[in-house]
């Protein structure tokens, strides 16, 4: 009890002397060397409202936060599945900040006036005979009508690319000359009872007035020491959101194109001659590897065969990344075979396989990991008799050297004369 009293009064003392010091494990520097203070200064923007009002100032997200855009139809972010050849959707939820954005537009997708209601049971029951008419429940309305609006969003990036979808609720701060406005962006807005749709004011447009981060719509990846055949492939996964993004080979057998990264850096993996090569540092923290291996073994998942290939701690963010080889194996039991997945075309059981990155929240004090997100490079459908694909770690694919809109792998880019 004395220990907890000491910790309580120590926290109070820290809060009075060093405000903000109670964020344990927090760091002022991000993965790429940016400070939280740098991000919080924001960008110059004009915010337009549906009633005609316009506010201009410095706009920013909550430090450490990002926008999340749900893309119901995937927009133009489609590519061919490497296994079945069917169109599959990449990046249904995309993460980004204000840095690569030129403009965000909001428009009503659906508007209506509603009233509060509840179901009223109208079934008549005769206690003597035990008979009931089982008439359907009826709605009973109450109160005055209120406006309801569903908003969709179009995000235009500095690379001239755009995405359409629904924005997850986000809070932005606009600092004008008079004061700082706290603005909540929602995809669904509800007004007060007795008001109209015109009175339910919403943000219709956020236009960034400064240049922002210059990003390329397409990034060329050139391999100095590798050549790819028609059956080979390369796949990119974004670093922050772990989103698989379209990666296509070009006419040259040593170059591929990564599209729609929206300013995010990315990890790379390749399939060459039936083997899989993934960019990852070869040096591993043995203690952290053992902790991650234990947690992956205990993690209940669809994939019942899980092999840890690599582990990486993200400094200053209390996060750990793990590279995992996953397979859904058919397991024989007393009740028959359990596991696998039924394939209609093949008319039998198949075993899905994945090469993925798992992100974990890391509690250093208790040496505990909590799985927070996943990203997948490749997914292959195997027959039970097929061996698990071999995966090789490559430091060349890990150390990406960028020159303008081209990433060179295998050697340092030549200096211009």
Q: What is the pLDDT of residues 266-311, one digit of tens each?
A: 999 999 988 999 999 988 899 999 999 999 999 988 888 999 999 9
Listing DSSP states for 303-330 in one string gives -SEEEEEEEEEETTTTEEEEEEEEE---
What's the confidence (pLDDT) of residue 30? 35
Q: What is the pLDDT of residues 98-119, one digit of tens each?
A: 988 999 999 999 999 999 999 8
* Selection from 42-56, 62-76, 327-341 with the highest mean pLDDT: 42-56
Residue 85 has pLDDT above 60, yes or no: no
Q: Measure the CA–CA gap between 329 and 331, rounded to whole angstroms.
A: 6
Residue 9 has pLDDT above 80, yes or no: no
Q: Where are the domains of the chain?
A: 22-111+147-208, 218-409
What's the confidence (pLDDT) of residue 82? 36
Which residues in 346-383 are b (16+ Cβ under 10 Å) and which e? eeeebbbbbbbbbbbebeeeeeebeeeebbbbbbbebe
Alpha helices in 179-311 (DSSP H): 286-298
Task: Judge whether 226 and 359 are in contact, CB under 8 Å.
Answer: no
Give me the chain's average pLDDT, please. Answer: 81
Task: List, as own/partner pairs, every contact residues 27-34 make where C-beta atoms lie below 8 angstroms and the sequence separation is at least 24, other chains included.
Answer: 27/315, 27/316, 27/317, 29/316, 30/316, 30/317, 31/239, 31/314, 31/315, 31/316, 31/317, 32/265
Alpha helices in 200-356 (DSSP H): 286-298
Q: Measure the CA–CA gap between 213 and 1, rounded to whole angstroms.
A: 52
Poorest-pLDDT segment among 102-106, 158-162, 211-215: 211-215
For 291, residues 6+ apart whose C-beta sits below 8 A from its C-beta are 367, 369
Q: What is the pLDDT of residues 189-208, one digit of tens each?
A: 999 999 999 999 999 999 99
User: Coil, strand or helix: which one is 34?
Assistant: coil
For 390, residues 6+ apart whose C-beta sits below 8 A from its C-beta are 275, 276
């Amino acid at each position: 009890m004395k220990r907890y009293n000491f910790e309580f009064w120590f926290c109070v003392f820290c809060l009075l002397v060093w405000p903000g010091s109670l964020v344990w494990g927090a760091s002022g520097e991000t993965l790429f060397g940016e400070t939280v203070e740098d991000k919080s200064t924001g960008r110059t923007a004009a915010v337009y409202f549906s009633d005609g009002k316009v506010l201009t100032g410095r706009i920013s997200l909550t430090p450490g936060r990002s926008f999340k855009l749900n893309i119901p139809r995937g927009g133009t972010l489609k590519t061919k599945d490497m296994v079945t050849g069917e169109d599959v959707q990449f990046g249904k939820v995309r993460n980004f900040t204000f840095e690569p954005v030129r403009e965000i537009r909001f428009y009503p997708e659906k508007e209506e006036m509603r009233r509060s209601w509840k179901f009223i049971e109208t079934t008549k029951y005769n206690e003597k005979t035990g008979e009931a008419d089982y008439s359907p429940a009826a709605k009973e309305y109450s109160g005055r009508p209120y406006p309801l609006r569903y908003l969709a969003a179009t995000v235009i990036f500095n690379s001239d690319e755009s995405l359409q979808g629904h924005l997850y609720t986000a809070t932005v701060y606009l600092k004008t000359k008079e004061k700082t406005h706290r603005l909540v962006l929602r995809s669904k807005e509800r007004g007060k009872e007795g008001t109209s749709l015109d009175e339910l004011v919403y943000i219709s447009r956020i236009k960034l007035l400064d240049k922002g981060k210059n990003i390329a719509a397409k990034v060329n990846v050139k391999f100095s020491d590798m050549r790819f055949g028609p059956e080979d492939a390369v796949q990119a996964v974004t670093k922050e959101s772990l989103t698989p993004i379209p990666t296509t080979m070009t006419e040259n057998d040593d170059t591929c194109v990564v599209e729609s990264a929206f300013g995010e850096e990315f990890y790379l993996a390749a399939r060459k001659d039936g083997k899989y090569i993934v960019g990852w540092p070869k040096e591993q923290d043995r203690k952290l590897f053992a902790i991650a291996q234990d947690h992956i073994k205990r993690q209940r998942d669809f994939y019942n065969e899980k092999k840890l290939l690599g582990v990486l701690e993200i400094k200053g963010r209390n996060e750990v990344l793990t590279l995992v080889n996953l397979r859904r194996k058919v397991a024989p039991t007393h009740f028959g075979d359990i596991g696998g997945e039924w394939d209609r075309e093949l008319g039998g059981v198949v075993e899905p396989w994945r090469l993925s990155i798992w992100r974990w929240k890391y509690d250093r004090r208790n040496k505990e990991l909590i799985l927070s997100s996943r990203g997948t490079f490749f997914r292959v459908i195997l027959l039970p008799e097929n061996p698990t694909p071999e995966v090789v770690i490559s430091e060349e694919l890990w150390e990406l050297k960028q020159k303008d809109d081209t990433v060179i792998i295998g050697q340092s880019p030549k200096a211009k004369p």
